[in-house]
Amino acid sequence: AQSVTQPDIHITVSEGASLELRCNYSYGATPYLFWYVQSPGQGLQLLLKYFSGDTLVQGIKGFEAEFKRSQSSFNLRKPSVHWSDAAEYFCAVGLRWGSNYKLTFGKGTLLTVNP
């Protein structure tokens, strides 16, 4: 069965510092991979996704993620964090399920940004 692991429950960075959030997956084939962000009291917003092709994916809000097949990872990065990036981040793996795709979500990483 597919699974997603986000090893870091909570990360704190200073504003302006670089950020890397880790995501590892377990799946037999190349999965579809996603990163979502959730601000307090709100639903999830899709940051970026990887289906195939270039392993470095650009997303919204200055985020990028790199798919590394050899490490079964899809880490999210941002070169300079802004205070507004404080939120919870979820990695997800998509598995084809009938005519749709079923997403398995990681348990999330809470990002705190210090001024």
| Pick from 82, 84, 104: nearest CA to 95 | 104
Q: Does residue 42 belong to the site contacting another protein (CB under 8 A)?
A: yes
The answer to whether residue 41 forms part of the interface with another protein (CB under 8 A) is yes
Contact status: 27 vs another protein (CB under 8 A): no
What's the CA gap between 34 and 47, in Å, rounded? 8
Q: Which is nearer to another protein, 10 or 68 (CB)?
A: 10
28-52: b or e for each residue (b if 16 or more CB lie within 10 Å)? eeebbbbbbbeeeeeebeebbbbee
- Is 49 a binding residue for another protein by CB under 8 A? The answer is yes
Beta bridge partners of 33: 50, 93
Residue range at the interface with another protein (CB under 8 A); choices 17-25, 54-62, 72-80, 101-109 = 101-109
Question: Rounded to whole angstroms, what are the CA distances from 86 to 14, 73, 83, 91?
Answer: 11, 22, 6, 16
Which of 51, 60, 61, 80 forms a contact with another protein (CB under 8 A)?
51
Among 32, 72, 73, 75, binds another protein (CB under 8 A): 32
Applying CB under 8 A, which residues contact another protein?
4, 9, 32, 34, 41-46, 49, 51, 90, 92, 94, 98-103, 105-108
